[in-house]
Structure 1
Amino acid sequence: MLDRGAVSKLLSGENIKCRDVEDVTNKICNMKQDGYSTLQVLADFDYTISHCRFEKERMSSSFGALERYSGMSEEFRTKTRALYDHFYPLEVDPTIPAEEKIGLMTEWFTNSAGCIISEGVTKETVASAADSSKVKLRGKFDVFVESLQREEVPLLVFSAGVGQIIERVLSNAEISTKNVKMIANMLEFNSENTAVQFRPPLITTGNKSKVAAQEKEYFNSNINRVNSILLGDNIEDIQMAACVRNYSRNVLTIGFLNDRVEDRLDLYKSKFDMVMLNDPDFTDILHLFECLQ
């Protein structure tokens, strides 16, 4: 039987805000009754699995790992910095309508991807950029992954970031990916190990539902996993659930609210079941998972 006291304590923590505590508790109760064999986890990477800030310093996204890398040309870094300065404030602006924001994010990602290809990055460049980057995994993410593996719960990392950067960061942190499937923007290289394109379609923060629809093999293989925990940092990350909602009993959505907290808290509470504040580690997510034992 679910320890509702433990759940109540978890949901009343300083890092968590809920629109409807009773509804969240009921979802957790249903998931516990069904067991781990019915569970899957869908997670964004940048600023969800990774920190937005750490020790008061702004961390990097997987695209940012390349955009900030000192081995890139000054022209490249100037162009990509200008793109970031223009588009990031728009990404976190809660007043921009969803459809307009999707268009803006598509423009940003397309331009950034074009800069990377024009720069002629190599596999070695990508590895060096990842190794020296300020992409910082949230603390205890490794413990969370180990817990998922122990209970044979699959983890889908669904990211609009650069796949090879993410793979390298996880490898450097010695994160086992035995039960991990990744959908991300993968660079494709020619015989000289120079990037020639991102494998289409380019994933942005606004088209994850369309991309998910193309991953039928993965979702069909997990069709008996009727309970899902979804982790994201953008409202649009909820689209990751598009291919599980038609067979899901419960989808528990958790949003990491990293910027413009006061402006966006009500919006995030209206969209996510749980909202994570203060850029925390994975302690509370682990406690949630343990409640399902």
Structure 2
Amino acid sequence: MKLLSSIRELPVLAKSNVHIKNEETLLEKLNKIISQGHEKLQIVTDFDHTLTRHIKDDGTPVLTSFGMLTACPSVPQHYKDEDMRLSAIYKPIESNGCISVEEKTKHMVDWYVAANSLLKGMIFPKNELTKVAEGLKDCFRSGVEHLIEWSESNKVPVLIFSAGLGDCVVAAVKSSNLMRGNVKVVANFLAMNERDEIVGMQGEIIHTLNKNETAIKNTEYYGMVKDRSNVLLMGDNIGDAGMAEGMEHCDVVIKIGFLSCKVEENLQNYMDKFDIVLVNEHTLDVANALIDLLQ
């Protein structure tokens, strides 16, 4: 294996939209991961606006996993209206760089409790998600397929860790042929009865600020990575930076953050939490350049 003498050996890190928190620290982390190889690596990634883009080429927003739900024909208009009202209240709070994590967490819990209560009693044939998911095929970041194929061929576990709706995440990933044996999804999954009626959510609610090891401790994924001490982590929200926190066996975590909204307001906050911050980036070129260093 060839260790790096400088991160500038990777041209992808020299792009003007790439912001690096500490070059010396990043170099040290990279070389440790390179020296230990893919056998010690796991990949932990958010879904909405991380594996998927934030906007399309024509400037229209890419559907989130909850947005996929509202695009289904069986979802009533009153749900869509109330969902939009809640988003207008809480989305600005989620992206506000001046609000403390503690205060944000309270608001995120309120948001998810309110949003989930709207779903109860709704009749929802989940097969409708298949058609909606087809429309997301062109919304994944360029390079996602390479990341998944590389991880599959090298037997590197990939966790898609989402505060969104897991049923929609799985539908989108399957539709784009990205659901491989090494890929697991931990998210909020609908609880349904035999009449296709939503009765709630399965397990504890995962929101943007509690995505950490406690949510995956009893999952199949945790057993897959107990001997993998190095993590490549990707997310687009400040809370995503903590997705590997609490994993006692983790040694090196390289955190890549995607920043697309309120850049000037949030850049420093993202720099404080992520090793690499990518501003208005539509590809996974950086992540792929890093994994391609491993043997």
TM superposition score category, shorter chain reference: over 0.9
Q: Which residue type is aligned with residue 268 of structure 2?
A: D
TM-score by length of 1: 0.92
Deviations 1:103-140 (A, max 9, x none): 11111122222222243322234444444569821122
Q: Which residue type is aligned with residue 191 of structure 1?
A: E
- The alignment-based identity, stated in percent, is 27
CA contact (8 A) 1:28 1:292 kept: no
Deviations 1:55-87 (A, max 9, x none): 122111101111344542221111011111111
Matched, 1:15 2:20: no
Provide the alpha-carbon RMSD of the alignment: 2.1
- When structure 1 is superposed on structure 2, of 266-275 and 8-17 the one drifting more is 8-17
Q: Which residue type is aligned with residue 272 of structure 2?
A: S
Counterparts of 2:179 and 2:77 in 1: how far apart (Å)?
Answer: 36
Say which SS state the counterpart of residue 159 (structure 1) adopts: strand
Counterparts of 1:230 and 1:154 in 2: how far apart (Å)?
Answer: 12
Query: What is the CA distance between 1:284 and its match in structure 2?
Result: 2.1
Matched, 1:73 2:76: yes
Matched, 1:224 2:227: yes
Residue 287 of structure 1 corresponds to: 289
Match of 2:100 among 97, 100, 123: 97
- Any gaps of 5 or more consecutive residues in structure 1? none
Say which SS state the counterpart of residue 123 (structure 1) adopts: coil
Say which SS state the counterpart of residue 212 (structure 2) adopts: helix
CA contact (8 A) 1:43 1:231 kept: yes
Counterparts of 1:60 and 1:248 in 2: how far apart (Å)?
Answer: 33
Matched, 1:136 2:146: no
Counterparts of 2:194 and 2:18 in 1: how far apart (Å)?
Answer: 49
CA contact (8 A) 2:121 2:197 kept: no
Decide whether aligned partners of structure 1 residues 28 and 158 sit closer, same or farther in structure 2, where only a CA change above 3 A counts: same
CA contact (8 A) 2:257 2:276 kept: yes
Query: What is the CA distance between 1:215 and its match in structure 2?
Result: 2.9
Q: Which residue type is aligned with residue 176 of structure 2?
A: A
Deviations 1:234-281 (A, max 9, x none): 11112211232x222211111111211111111111110011111321
Match of 2:189 among 180, 186, 190: 186
Match of 2:278 among 253, 276, 279: 276
- The correspondence of residues 175-254 of structure 1 with structure 2, limited to 5 A, is 175-209=178-212, 211-212=214-215, 214-215=217-218, 218-244=221-247, 246-254=248-256
Q: Which residue type is aligned with residue 240 of structure 1?
A: M
Say which SS state the counterpart of residue 60 (structure 1) adopts: coil
TM-score by length of 2: 0.92
Counterparts of 1:133 and 1:11 in 2: how far apart (Å)?
Answer: 28
Say which SS state the counterpart of residue 160 (structure 1) adopts: strand
CA contact (8 A) 2:191 2:199 kept: yes
Matched, 1:41 2:43: yes
Counterparts of 1:101 and 1:230 in 2: how far apart (Å)?
Answer: 22
Residue 3 of structure 2 corresponds to: 2
Residue 155 of structure 2 corresponds to: 152
Q: Which residue type is aligned with residue 115 of structure 2?
A: S
- Write 1 or 2 for the structure with the bigger share of helix: 1
Query: What is the CA distance between 1:179 and its match in structure 2?
Result: 0.5
Counterparts of 1:150 and 1:210 in 2: how far apart (Å)?
Answer: 26
Counterparts of 1:220 and 1:70 in 2: how far apart (Å)?
Answer: 38
Counterparts of 1:37 and 1:181 in 2: how far apart (Å)?
Answer: 18
CA contact (8 A) 2:193 2:199 kept: yes
Query: What is the CA distance between 1:89 and its match in structure 2?
Result: 0.9
CA contact (8 A) 1:10 1:284 kept: yes
Query: What is the CA distance between 1:217 and its match in structure 2?
Result: 5.6
Q: Which residue type is aligned with residue 14 of structure 1?
A: S
CA contact (8 A) 2:122 2:197 kept: no
Decide whether aligned partners of structure 1 residues 256 and 272 sit closer, same or farther in structure 2, where only a CA change above 3 A counts: same
Q: Which residue type is aligned with residue 149 of structure 2?
A: E
CA contact (8 A) 2:34 2:293 kept: yes
Q: Which residue type is aligned with residue 67 of structure 2?
A: G
Residue 64 of structure 1 corresponds to: 67
